[in-house]
Structure 1
Amino acid sequence: MSSSVQVFIYISSLLIIVSVILADELENHCVESRCNRSSPVIRFPFRLMGHQPNECGYPGFDLTCTNDNKTLLELPNSIKVFVKNINYSLQTIDVIDPGSCIPKLVKSMNLANSPFRLGQDFSSYYYSLFNCSSTVDFLYWNQVPCLSTPGFNVFAAYYQDDILDIPLSYCTKMCDVPGGAINSQTVLSFSWFQPSCEECEKSGGACRLDSQTTPNLKIECLKKPKPNSGSSKKLVVAGASLGAFMFALATIQFWRIVRLDKVEREHQRKIEKFLDDYRADKPSRYSYADVKRITCKFQDKLGQGAYGTVYKGKLSNEVSVAVKILDSSESDGDEFINEVATMGRIHHVNVVRLVGFCADGFRRALIYEFLPNGSLEKIIYSRNGLSLSLGWQKAHNIALGIARGIKYLHQGCDKPILHFDIKPHNVLLDQDFNPKISDFGQAKLCFRDKSHVSMTAARGTMGYMAPEVFSRNFGNVSYKSDVYSFGMLLLEMVGGRKVDAAAKEISELHFPAWIYDSLEGKDDTPSQIHDDEQAKIVKKLTIVGLRCIQWYPVDRPSMNVVVQMLEGEEDNLTIPPNPFASTCPSSSSTGSIPRRPFNQELPAIPESE
């Protein structure tokens, strides 16, 4: 028998002995209590911490007294409220928000791991909260002053109202809250279903946890305690019982920590700490039960990725979403944190919107807006290809939209965001084939006063990664690394050929060089072109793509310049030097612009944070 099992048996035996001793001492240990004369009476299932043993209450029903003798209840996520009234027959409890803002409290509250539920009168209908510019005024909405900030007003709209008329350019949906939180902004009502002591109290008894079966949370009914009775002997026994109980818990917890997977526990701690620091005005948090309801128990599978599976779901009859269930065995939690932290800061027409997320134990999910036309990759490599499926004018608009989205990430956010995984698979198309950048699992935040970033490992997909990402001999990693990936994406759109860094055939390995030769008329035209206007678009996309994939970051344009080139005329663009002249014998160079020497055998240089 292992030593840990022996310790467990010893502690269990000690608890049984102490429980037998305390069976006759109940009348003094679980007497009713209160914080002051006018505060609610505290009895089972509630327990006044520091004054009553653990068996006098039920887990999750612990109360404390403040310095000014107010009764305090702590809910999950460290939310503290004052108790105004407890109705033991109806099993309800009324609380007051110390901050006098019930909507704010409900918005950040998660009762998934709590025995309490919002009262029926509070949760029978819901309102949607919208954060709007102060220039917007909706008389038919309820304003929530305690959530409003200078320059922005928060309104509450009945969730069944038609929200299609809401000017999304001025308003951002925050979350849904129960209607009772809007109509009653001072008192919040909860109810509980288990445990119930009604039958025991009717018979003249009092409830407590059976100390012999505490792990099973079995309730026993004993004779009602007599008020105002007690002795030092019973207090000593109660103290010994409490000490033994706490010692047993500490021992059991240590035994579990040794046996549990330490790496997975660290991942979970990291995610929970991040979510605790995450503010309420970010994407909504959902429980795993909500995720199953939204996806109809994962019936409609959209696809399978490296880190999880994507399902189609519905938040309502009008709003469809894509739900990505992350595979915890393939991810250490960093991708989840990157995705939520990064996309929570982004509001742009060319970036996928993160609607919400789930972090319920080891179950993690990301909920995005649903884009019916799938990824750009599927269009490029469809039977007809990009040019026949959409036409070159639409292809140009898609390229311009992607460029504007990347420019926003680099320049439009509070902190610049480097995506590090720009590729057709991560560009989704809405019902009008407008592009939206997705998948921020590899993204990295940086500071505006820094010209480059530091990384401990390469990020991105081979074939789209800039040379400096895996070898610093080309330069420092910066926003120019995203420019390189965008250039490869453009060439892929033009050539209709997949970028494959592991290709064995010379025609695939030197695909960008083949594009360059096509531009100079030394090879077949890369795509089907029917008139001069289409030829101009193809030429523009090709020149911009080649400018973006220069070996050295300093030779590539910024995304601001890329947008200007795509918006301008192709006649103003000059063909850049061929970056593949030294690596592909079939390629040629203009020879008019000097190039930096390139060594095929450059070693990778490690970096530290």
Structure 2
Amino acid sequence: MNLFFRMFSICFMLIVLVDDGLGIFENECKESKCGSHGPAVRFPFRIKGRQPDHCGYPEDGFHLSCSERKETVLELPNSVKLSINKIDYFSQVISASDPQGCFPKQLPKINLSVSSFRFHYQFDYWENNCTIFHCLQRTQWSSATLISCQSSPNSYVYSNPSNSGGDVNKIYNCTKMYEIINFPFLLCDLDIRVVRLSWSFPRCNSCEAHYKYCRLKPNSTQPAIECYGKLQKKGALNKFVATGIALALLLLAVSVTALFYVYGFNKKEKEYQSKIEKFLDDYKTFKPSRYSYTDIKRITNQFKEELGQGAYGTVYKGKLSEEIMVAVKVLNNSKGNGEEFVNEVGIIGKIHHVNVVRLIGFCADGFRRALLYEYLPNESLAKFISSADAKNHFLGWKRLQDIALGVAKGIEYLHQGCNQRILHFDINPHNILLDHNFNPKISDFGQAKLCSRDQSAVSLTTARGTIGYIAPEVFSRNFGNVSCKSDVYSFGMLVLEMVGGRKNVDAKQGNEDQIYYPEWIYNLLEGGEDLRFEIDAEEDAKIAKKLAIVGLWCIQWNPVDRPSMKTAVQMLEGEGDNLSIPANPFSSSNHTRMNSRVSRRQLHHQLEAISETE
């Protein structure tokens, strides 16, 4: 009962305080709106016809009006009228749009040099000239942006930065309509719908910061402002609304108290609610966002910084915000029939693992396709294992072991942790990306395939992967059927390259008698010799030997002899002292000959071939 009376007393005091504050609004300058969903209008603005002149700041632009559709209208010089969507009094920023839904039509008439307002942008703000063109057909010029609201099926209007170079008239047979001088670059680049304007004077944000109203000082010879009263965030309230709010607060307090006791005695219910919230939060990460090609140009700053090139596209550095960086892969239009793009979005967009790169979004804008990934600053593993004796790139054996373990866990997740088994088919150092802590993430699912978890093999029409990491059965079925063990082989070759720090296939070497690189490592281990690569301590020697043994187990010619990725993870997590060197699968005269105790008939029986899941 004491708790109840305390809450009742608090709510009664709230009623008194709110009631006392209402006196602020019982005057001719109280806060007002044009419509129920419009922005609240108060000083330095006023609504003409509803409030006297002294309710607003005595300059053009601060005297607003209401349209027939109950929109709040701001009038700028040259009879430019904009609909106000939002007024941020603390930041002193207005969000406005064209009443007819086509802001670019207003651009030629806007002259803010004689106005109280300026364009306001937080990012990438610089002034530029842009030219408006009229074309009889769609252009393919990358810097030109279609203004859709001014275009029709047989008439196209484009905006283009004037300093972008080239003569669009000659190239695309377009006609110049007019030029816009000294406007924010973003307004020239985007088919913009909403514009943000800011004002510097009067400065009422200090009043807003203290939750007070702002007004002109009475009887002042010069326009000066002062703070007064108590700002009510919800606008003008009357006594009945205030009483209703107080009663609602009382009811809420009683409800919260009851719920507190209920949840105190029902811990399982609280845990269940926590699981639901976590699921909803995780679920959002499984749905990549879709972006337009205009968004891609903005995010990459007109493709300014290139990170690298691959067989299917070019990767650029991009920025979603000041805090969020992305890697944007723009796919080549001439490569393939879009299967790689469908695979990336369809497969990686559904999975989430600490060792699999996250797909943030994608672009499918006509023939233009792009993929947005999380940005990983340390680039690919290939950068750090090209040479074992390059000390400035060598990561150290402990970190190499952690990277190998992370990659193994990522592949194990693809094989066993998803609703359908995912075969990657292109595990190689270039597709292993490293974050700022050198944690590995598997990328590039363009050649991946899905199959049922209860099946063990998949049929392919053509070989896929990167030379030097492709399992022998992918080239020839004489070695067995293609299965998840094909990824195990690629992982083994990756680990052996991490151990030796050299390429598995050197295209520049023309000597056919050159010893096969994995066989060279096997011979060192079999002969009891040390792996002579950048080893300074006994612990490093143990790690190098363990990695070499795991790699050799994974590249056995017979797929049945290779461990599963789960077993490979266990081998890497162990001490390595009990690992035995596998049987020699190599022959110096012909290292592509399968050396196995299991016959091809037995192998075919153990790996039943199935068709891939489309």
Q: Could you say which TM-score interval applies, normalised by the shorter chain?
A: 0.5 to 0.7
Choose which of 471, 495, 509 in structure 2 pairs with 1:490.
495
What corresponds to 1:171 in structure 2? 281
What corresponds to 1:4 in structure 2? none
Which letter does structure 1 place at the counterpart of 2:579? L
Choose which of 317, 324, 338 in structure 1 pairs with 2:343.
338
CA contact (8 A) 1:455 1:607 kept: no
Alignment partner of 1:575: what SS? coil
**In 2, Cα distance between equivalents of 1:416 and 1:385:** 38
How many angstroms does 1:448 deviate by?
1.3
Structure (1 or 2) with the larger CA radius of gyration: 2
- Number of aligned positions between the proteins: 348
The verdict on how the C-alpha distance between 1:490 and 1:536 changes in structure 2, with shifts beyond 3 A counting, is same
Report 1:99-118 matches (<5 A).
Answer: none
Choose which of 290, 296, 306 in structure 2 pairs with 1:291.
296
What corresponds to 1:575 in structure 2? 581
Alignment partner of 1:340: what SS? helix
What corresponds to 1:504 in structure 2? 510
The verdict on how the C-alpha distance between 1:151 and 1:413 changes in structure 2, with shifts beyond 3 A counting, is farther
How many angstroms does 1:597 deviate by?
7.4
CA contact (8 A) 1:379 1:386 kept: no
- Which deviates further from its counterpart, 480-489 or 461-470? 461-470
CA contact (8 A) 1:352 1:436 kept: yes
Which letter does structure 2 place at the counterpart of 1:321? V
Which letter does structure 1 place at the counterpart of 2:379? G
Choose which of 569, 590, 597 in structure 2 pairs with 1:595.
597
What corresponds to 2:572 in structure 1? 566
Q: Please, what is the CA RMSD of the aligned residues?
A: 3.6
In structure 2, runs of 5+ residues without a counterpart are 1-97, 103-145, 151-190, 199-271, 601-608
1:439 matched to 2:444: yes
Choose which of 358, 378, 384 in structure 2 pairs with 1:379.
384
Which letter does structure 1 place at the counterpart of 2:560? V
Which letter does structure 1 place at the counterpart of 2:419? D
Alignment partner of 1:570: what SS? coil
How many angstroms does 1:504 deviate by?
2.8
**Identity across the alignment (%):** 61
In structure 1, runs of 5+ residues without a counterpart are 1-88, 94-111, 125-148, 155-166, 176-280, 599-605
Which letter does structure 1 place at the counterpart of 2:314? T
What corresponds to 1:394 in structure 2? 399
Deviations 1:219-267 (A, max 9, x none): xxxxxxxxxxxxxxxxxxxxxxxxxxxxxxxxxxxxxxxxxxxxxxxxx
The verdict on how the C-alpha distance between 1:151 and 1:388 changes in structure 2, with shifts beyond 3 A counting, is closer
The verdict on how the C-alpha distance between 1:496 and 1:121 changes in structure 2, with shifts beyond 3 A counting, is closer
Alignment partner of 2:557: what SS? coil
1:313 matched to 2:318: yes
What corresponds to 2:434 in structure 1? 429
**In 1, Cα distance between equivalents of 2:462 and 2:472:** 13
Report 1:34-49 matches (<5 A).
Answer: none
CA contact (8 A) 1:287 1:359 kept: yes
**In 2, Cα distance between equivalents of 1:538 and 1:347:** 30
**In 1, Cα distance between equivalents of 2:444 and 2:598:** 34
Alignment partner of 2:445: what SS? coil
How many angstroms does 1:583 deviate by?
4.2
Alignment partner of 2:394: what SS? helix
How many angstroms does 1:455 deviate by?
1.1
Report 1:469-484 matches (<5 A).
Answer: 469-484=474-489
Which letter does structure 2 place at the counterpart of 1:331? G
**In 2, Cα distance between equivalents of 1:424 and 1:325:** 21
**In 1, Cα distance between equivalents of 2:599 and 2:147:** 61
1:466 matched to 2:452: no
Deviations 1:439-461 (A, max 9, x none): 10010011112221111111111
Which letter does structure 2 place at the counterpart of 1:332? N
CA contact (8 A) 2:415 2:484 kept: yes
How many angstroms does 1:382 deviate by?
5.2
**In 2, Cα distance between equivalents of 1:425 and 1:508:** 25
How many angstroms does 1:470 deviate by?
1.2
Which letter does structure 2 place at the counterpart of 1:341? G
The verdict on how the C-alpha distance between 1:407 and 1:504 changes in structure 2, with shifts beyond 3 A counting, is same
What corresponds to 1:403 in structure 2? 408
How many angstroms does 1:474 deviate by?
1.2
Report 1:243-282 matches (<5 A).
Answer: 282=287
How many angstroms does 1:400 deviate by?
0.3
Which letter does structure 2 place at the counterpart of 1:378? K
How many angstroms does 1:548 deviate by?
0.3
**In 2, Cα distance between equivalents of 1:475 and 1:113:** 57
Which letter does structure 2 place at the counterpart of 1:505? N
Deviations 1:278-333 (A, max 9, x none): xxx62111000000000000000111111111100000000000001100112210
Alignment partner of 1:345: what SS? coil
Which letter does structure 2 place at the counterpart of 1:512? P
**In 2, Cα distance between equivalents of 1:150 and 1:454:** 44
**In 1, Cα distance between equivalents of 2:404 and 2:375:** 21
Which letter does structure 1 place at the counterpart of 2:597? R
The verdict on how the C-alpha distance between 1:570 and 1:113 changes in structure 2, with shifts beyond 3 A counting, is farther
CA contact (8 A) 1:507 1:514 kept: no
How many angstroms does 1:541 deviate by?
0.3
Which letter does structure 1 place at the counterpart of 2:452? F
Deviations 1:170-216 (A, max 9, x none): 834749xxxxxxxxxxxxxxxxxxxxxxxxxxxxxxxxxxxxxxxxx
How many angstroms does 1:337 deviate by?
0.4
How many angstroms does 1:507 deviate by?
7.2
**In 2, Cα distance between equivalents of 1:533 and 1:388:** 20
> Structure 1 length as normaliser, TM-score?
0.52
The verdict on how the C-alpha distance between 1:595 and 1:506 changes in structure 2, with shifts beyond 3 A counting, is farther
Deviations 1:138-196 (A, max 9, x none): xxxxxxxxxxx999768xxxxxxxxxxxx8x9834749xxxxxxxxxxxxxxxxxxxxx
What corresponds to 2:539 in structure 1? 533
How many angstroms does 1:387 deviate by?
9.6
**In 1, Cα distance between equivalents of 2:463 and 2:380:** 24
How many angstroms does 1:579 deviate by?
0.8
**In 2, Cα distance between equivalents of 1:504 and 1:523:** 28
What corresponds to 1:518 in structure 2? 524
What corresponds to 1:301 in structure 2? 306
The verdict on how the C-alpha distance between 1:496 and 1:347 changes in structure 2, with shifts beyond 3 A counting, is same
Alignment partner of 2:499: what SS? helix
The verdict on how the C-alpha distance between 1:494 and 1:170 changes in structure 2, with shifts beyond 3 A counting, is farther
Which letter does structure 2 place at the counterpart of 1:499? N
Which letter does structure 2 place at the counterpart of 1:595? R
CA contact (8 A) 1:380 1:386 kept: no
Deviations 1:535-570 (A, max 9, x none): 110110011000000001100000000000000121
Choose which of 442, 451, 454 in structure 1 pairs with 2:456.
451
**In 2, Cα distance between equivalents of 1:338 and 1:577:** 37
Deviations 1:391-438 (A, max 9, x none): 101110000000000000001111110000001110000000010000
How many angstroms does 1:113 deviate by?
11
What corresponds to 1:369 in structure 2? 374
Alignment partner of 1:572: what SS? coil
CA contact (8 A) 1:284 1:355 kept: yes
How many angstroms does 1:584 deviate by?
5.4
The verdict on how the C-alpha distance between 1:458 and 1:558 changes in structure 2, with shifts beyond 3 A counting, is same
**In 1, Cα distance between equivalents of 2:444 and 2:549:** 27
How many angstroms does 1:527 deviate by?
1.1
Alignment partner of 2:544: what SS? helix
**In 2, Cα distance between equivalents of 1:471 and 1:404:** 28
